[in-house]
Amino acid sequence: MMRRLAAVPALLIASPVAAQDAAQDAASAASTSFEEVAGVATPIQPRAAVAWLAGAAAGYIVRQDLPDSPYATVSVTRYQNDWYLRGGLTFYKSAIQQVDAALPSTFTIASLGAGRVWGDWFADLYLSGGQQRFGMVTTPAGSRPSMVGNGTGYLAFGARGGRRLWLSDRTALLGTAFVGYAATRSLRHALVRGAPRDLLVAERAVTGSGAIRLEQTLGRTGRSQIAINVEHFRSSNSGTRLMTVPGMTPGPPGQGSDGGLLGLRTPDGWSEVGLTGTFGIARHWWLDAEVRRTSGALGGDATTASLGLRIRL
């Protein structure tokens, strides 16, 4: 068998809403690491013992009942025999839309990942961390800075593994499983005893998924590939809901659930279908394109489209 898929670079840059913003809140812990969706699912094994791959991508996320989110990513990956190590940086904008307030944020997330391939098996680990910067809070009274500071941190880590089953020389079926944890705080707005308050609400989530991906190599040289991916997710937190607790005394601004409000986490499950393409446009260059659509999420579904360019150094 020729099995040319091994020569096609994987889509190493995925959107910041991998795993549906891990449960529908771009500012929540459920925002998973950006390697999660497609990047680690098909790691490449360059012919040389050591090789470098650099890339950049931009995309746009259209959300149901929520503001849209543009994003951009850059990454560098080093391959050595069956091992690879990658670093990446992701920037994106998002917003929480409440009935009486819009709370935008800008995320800057750095990530480090490593993995190994054993024949048709692979395993991948990642760690991500960064900063969420709060924008101007808009309410019926106008726009103003946040009452609880300029931003907050973000941390996520996880693992993915799987196996490729060859159906023919150029067609393969890839099965993968993923589990990850993410933690941050989301900015919320509430009226407590008639006074406007901004709150920092702790967001933590464990998200898992299982996926099946059908891959087809294209072209004489096998440097291009198209694939369709079907994945189902389960998350322990689809975004924390705030509820007023009668009898509790409101605390200082920024106390979150300690300020007369109780945060309730809501588990969620949803599915996602994606179509990806990797096209060899020159000897050391690849163009990546991707479209994904979720269904069944409690907080509303999202459509993501992205374009990327990578070069082997």
pLDDT in tens, 58-80: 999 998 877 888 999 999 999 88
CATH number at residue 69: 2.40.128.130
DSSP for 222-245, written as a single string: --EEEEEEEEEEEES-S-PEEEE-
pLDDT of the residue at 247: 53
**pLDDT averaged over the chain?**
79
Residue 91: pLDDT above 50? yes
Question: CB within 8 A of 181, min separation 6: which ones?
Answer: 29, 156, 157, 158, 204, 205, 206, 207
Average pLDDT over residues 33-61: 61
What's the whole-model pTM score?
0.81
Burial of 49 (C-beta count, 10 Å sphere; 0-12/13-18/19+): exposed
Please provide the size of the chain in residues. 313
233: domain range?
A: 4-312
Q: Are 228 and 216 within 8 A, CB to CB?
A: no
Average pLDDT over residues 142-166: 91
Give the chain's domain count: 1
For 220-274, the pLDDT digits (tens) are 888 899 999 999 999 998 777 766 665 554 444 444 444 456 677 888 999 999 9
